[in-house]
Structure formats: C-alpha cells, structure tokens
Amino acid sequence: MPAARAETPLALTRRARRIQRALAERYPYAHCELDFENPLQLLVATVLSAQTTDVTVNKVTPTLFARWPDAAALAAADRDEMEAVLRPTGFFRAKTNSVINLAAAILERYDGEVPGRLADLVTLPGVGRKTANVVLGNAFGVPGITVDTHFGRLVRRWGWTDETDPVKVEHAVGDLIPRRDWTMLSHQVIFHGRRTCHARRPACGACSIASLCPSYGEGETDPVAAARLLKYEMAPGQPWAPQPGADA
C-alpha cells in the first residue's frame, strides 16, 4: 500500500512538514534559477525555459532584453532577428511566436505591465498555472507552488500525493504546507530534484531526508557511491559547482 494511503492525514502532514524543514536546512539559498530584473523578464524567461535548461535561457535573455526591453518592443520585434537570438533555446520559431504574442497581449490588455494576479496571468497566451506561480512567487512576492516535472516526481516519491495532474498536485501539497512557505518549498524541492533525487538514479545514500522518504532504496544506497551521483555539491560558503561524473 502506498505510504500516503497508509498514513493518517495528520501523520502525513507532520512528515511533509518535517521534509520541508529538512529541505530548508539543506538548501537555505534555494532560489529561482532564471535571471531577471522585473516581472516581464521573468515571465518571458519562464516561457523560454520549456524544453531547455535555465542555464541556456540565462545565456540568451541578456541579449533579448537589451534589444527589446519592454512589452511594446517585444511585440514589434522583427521575427527573423528574434529567432536568431532564441535559436540556442530550441524550438526557436515557436518560442519567438510565443514571446511576440505574449508581449502583444500584455500591451493590449494591461498597458504593457505584467499583471500580478493569477486569474489575469493565466489568460495570457502560453501562460498556465505553473508559469503564473513562478512569476507571482518570485516577482510579486505572492506565495505559489510551482509544479514542474521535478516537483511532481518528488512529492509522489515522498507519498505526499498520488496525483499526476499538476493542478491537483498543487492543491494537495498546498493542503500540507503553510501558504507562506509555498514559494520557497517550490525552489527547495526543485533544487533537490536536480541535485540529489534524480529521475533515473536517485542518490538515496547521500540524501538528507532519506529517513523520511518511503521510496528510499529506489536509488543508490551506498553513501560513497551515492555521493558520486550528486549533480551538484556545495562547499560551505561557496556557490554551486558541477560535480564531475554526475548522472541526472
């Protein structure tokens, strides 16, 4: 029987909050890994992050926003020129179309300013709840849960929910964790999924929440072997650096 079904609701809530506190201790510096200076930049960067890495997006957005700094400029951009800038992100023609249409909608409906409400954000072309919550939580300070592939995979491994629909996952986790912690929890779970709890071979033996995880043993349990699987590790006081030989 899955752990989430074997636990009482109270026991599940207590375990979920213990995991949340452990993640907060492990990743106190967790943050949005997309670079941005304002809500528009974050919104566009999040749209561009589909099917590519945040690192790749961060390489192209300085050029993108230097050339087209606001919604009006983005909406009026030369398509061929923007495609050339966005080419490294993949699907650059579709993404160019998305950025231009998104900027045009912001210009037309909201006078060029990104709205700060979920109900408004999700009406924009190409913006779903995940993207809206990224923008709300990180650009507007409105708590939100970002259910990306890492987040959904990990909370199911932890037995927080059996749901696979992102909206249902969002609501299930929201019932377990205080609203004030939603945005940071999203970052911490995503950090853990990228660095330790990999999809194919989780580093169970090097995991800070192993004792709380009902899926412990799905991955490598030997501490030395598991440590080699960490995609990133951090020396105290130092920024993240790639771990050689990582296996995501």
What is the set of active-site residues? 130, 148
Distances in Å between the alpha carbon of 81 and those of 1, 92, 189? Answer: 55, 11, 37
Buried b (16+ CB within 10 A) or exposed e, 106-128: bbeebebebbeebeebeebebbe
Measured distance CA(227)–CA(224) in Å, rounded? 5
Measured distance CA(136)–CA(121) in Å, rounded? 9
Task: State the number of CA atoms in the 13 A half-sphere of 143 facing the CB.
Answer: 12
Those residues with Cβ within 8 angstroms of residue 141's Cβ, 6 or more apart along the chain or in another chain: none
Backbone CA torsion sign across 212, 215, 220, 226: negative
